[in-house]
Amino acid sequence: MKQEILIIQPLMPDLSEILHQQYHCHRLYEQTDVALFLSQHGHKIRAVATRGDVGLAAELMAALPALELITVFGVGTDAIDLAAARDRNITVTITSDILTDDVADLALALMLSTSRQIVAQDTFLRSGAWQQRPPQLGNKLSGKRVGIMGLGKIGAAIARRCAGFDMQIGYCNSRQSDEPGWQRFGDLHQLAQFSDFLVLAVPGDARNRKMVDAEILSALGEQGILINVARGAVVNEDDLIEALQTQRIRGAGLDVFDSEPGIDSRFASLNNTVLTPHIASATAETRQAMAQNVVDNLAGWFKGEGAITPIG
């Protein structure tokens, strides 16, 4: 008999197909009466498959008394009550170390796109305006100062890429880096004052919610650019939009938004931004590897071998 698992929100089609072949999958997002579903099936579900941006609501976790494993397609755990999971000895897995390079690559792409005005220059060329006037000047990336908020695996990968551009590297993190020449700052305000580019690479949990506000943006200053590849929730979007509209900062490169997939309509009218639809890990190679990681975690667990990438 197949093990029963619960899928919280749609997963990539290839992964969903594999899971349906190997398990009896319940799709929560298709249930019209969740309470009735849980009363009938909740006690049989030992594992949940979810996405990093979706997580698992605390009340839903509480309604699954047999739950042993939460597999996350992604690295975000801010939407999971980890303390409750630990109290119940529920193992949580993420697609660890798989998407680090892609996220770091996109952070650099956003830095280059905003500083060199790649999107605006593309529009300028396609419009035919080049025949009437020269393009506007962008700004250098090489040699500038980058401040990275959060020097975990992704933040460190971003820093190494920035080092290749001879950038001065500053960071805020709970632990000191061993990398020579990287400057540690005591708080985000100091880091923003240092930075030409302020890059966010922190979890989107409650402690970081709206940490980038008007005060931090003022510290970043008129020549500064904000890059967010973390979570939309870490930025006060009203403050950011006002800073962009009034040019109190130079620009922003954003891959994440507070209310995605719907975003504040005011972003669309800003010409000093580069906006991408949460695609930091969206390469065919990485998404396939992430899917395989979820499959392997579930298989290992149900074979009694344990999960392969549990969080600490």
Chain segment 104-131, per-residue pLDDT in tens: 999 999 999 999 999 999 999 999 999 9
pLDDT tens digits along 225-236: 999 999 999 999
Output the pLDDT for position 176: 93
In a domain, 63, yes or no: yes
In a domain, 176, yes or no: yes
In a domain, 216, yes or no: yes
Whether residues 154 and 231 fall in one domain: yes
Whether residues 111 and 171 fall in one domain: yes
CATH number, residue 25: 3.40.50.720
Whether residues 144 and 266 fall in one domain: yes
* Distance in angstroms between the alpha carbons of the first and the last residue of the chain: 32
Span 21-34, mean pLDDT? 96
Q: Tell me the residue range of the domain where 110 lies.
A: 100-275
Secondary structure E strands in the chain: 4-7, 24-27, 47-51, 69-73, 91-93, 145-149, 168-172, 183-184, 197-200, 225-228, 251-254, 273-275
Whether residues 110 and 163 fall in one domain: yes
In a domain, 13, yes or no: yes
Residue 136 per-residue DSSP state: P
The answer for 207, left when phi > 0, alpha when psi is -120 to 50, beta otherwise, is: alpha
- The percent of residues above 70 in pLDDT, for the chain, comes to 100
Whether residues 126 and 230 fall in one domain: yes
Whether residues 223 and 268 fall in one domain: yes
In a domain, 210, yes or no: yes
Total domain count for the chain? 2
Instruction: Give the mean pLDDT of the chain.
Output: 96
Whether residues 111 and 255 fall in one domain: yes
Would you call 133 exposed, middle or buried from its count of C-beta atoms within 10 A (0-12, 13-18, 19+)?
exposed
If one counts every other C-beta atom within 10 angstroms of the C-beta of residue 1, the result is 4
If one counts every other C-beta atom within 10 angstroms of the C-beta of residue 269, the result is 10
Output the pLDDT for position 49: 98
Higher-scoring residue by pLDDT: 206, 290: 290
In a domain, 280, yes or no: no
Q: Could you tell me which of 54, 74, 68, 73 has the C-alpha nearest to residue 8? A: 54
**How is 283-305 classified by DSSP, letter by letter?**
-HHHHHHHHHHHHHHHHHHHTTS
227 phi/psi in degrees, rounded to 5: -120, 125
> What is the set of active-site residues?
231, 260, 278
Whether residues 168 and 271 fall in one domain: yes
In a domain, 222, yes or no: yes
Buried b (16+ CB within 10 A) or exposed e, 91-124: bbbbbeebbbbbbbbbbbbbbbbbbebeebeeeb
Q: Are 121 and 133 in contact (CB under 8 A)?
A: no
Whether residues 293 and 185 fall in one domain: no
With 0.85 as the threshold, say if the pTM is over it: yes
The answer to whether residue 301 scores a pLDDT higher than 80 is yes
Whether residues 133 and 233 fall in one domain: yes
Whether residues 209 and 158 fall in one domain: yes
Whether residues 291 and 176 fall in one domain: no
In the structure, what pLDDT confidence band is assigned to residue 206 with cuts at 50, 70 and 90? confident
- 3-class secondary structure, 90: coil
- d(CA 109, CA 104) in angstroms, rounded, equals 9
The answer to whether residue 38 scores a pLDDT higher than 90 is yes
Which tokens is 160 given? 């190494």
